[in-house]
Amino acid sequence: MTARIAILILASLALSACGLRPLYGSGESGSVAATLRTIEVAPIQGQAGWLVRNELVDRLGESEGAPTYRLLITLDDNITAFGIRTDRAATRERRTLRARYQLVSATTGLVVLDATAGSDAGIDIVSSEYATVAAEQTALEHLAGMLADQIVARVGIYAARGSVTP
């Protein structure tokens, strides 16, 4: 029993020395959260763009004063049918939403981060066209949230490393 406790204590000490730190460890007063609040999200074309932009604005927080960075995003929204039946009708669709995003310094115009994010969702095609369209819309809303999460996480990592400097 004593040996197990000793191993547990040694393992916890080894984990604390590995250098892992929570990204948002200081909460809203931390440097990462402060950096995220200085980002202005540029308008994005289309319905998918509107959804992604709203999700990003919700996650980044309210801007305090003039923005330090501008986030430029280009989306690629694609629906592909597959799962063909014998009568050549599709039974499934895959909706793919990809984004190329750039974090640009507002003062210098330099791109400090250039990356991509993406996700996809499967959709069943049913006999009701309304239900299929509703499923496609729900998938788009879900994908917009997933894309926003990926983008904010990536920008947060750069902010935590101190790599995001104008």
Q: Which fold has domain 26-161?
A: Double Stranded RNA Binding Domain (3.30.160)
- Domain positions in the chain are 26-161
Q: CA 22, CA 158: separation in Å to the nearest integer?
A: 13
* pLDDT score recorded for residue 32: 78
CB 123 within 8 A of CB 135: yes
Asked if pLDDT for residue 38 goes beyond 50, the answer is yes
- Fill in the amino acid letter for 21: R
Asked if 127 and 109 touch (Cβ cutoff 8 Å), the reply is: no
| The model scores a pTM over 0.85 | no
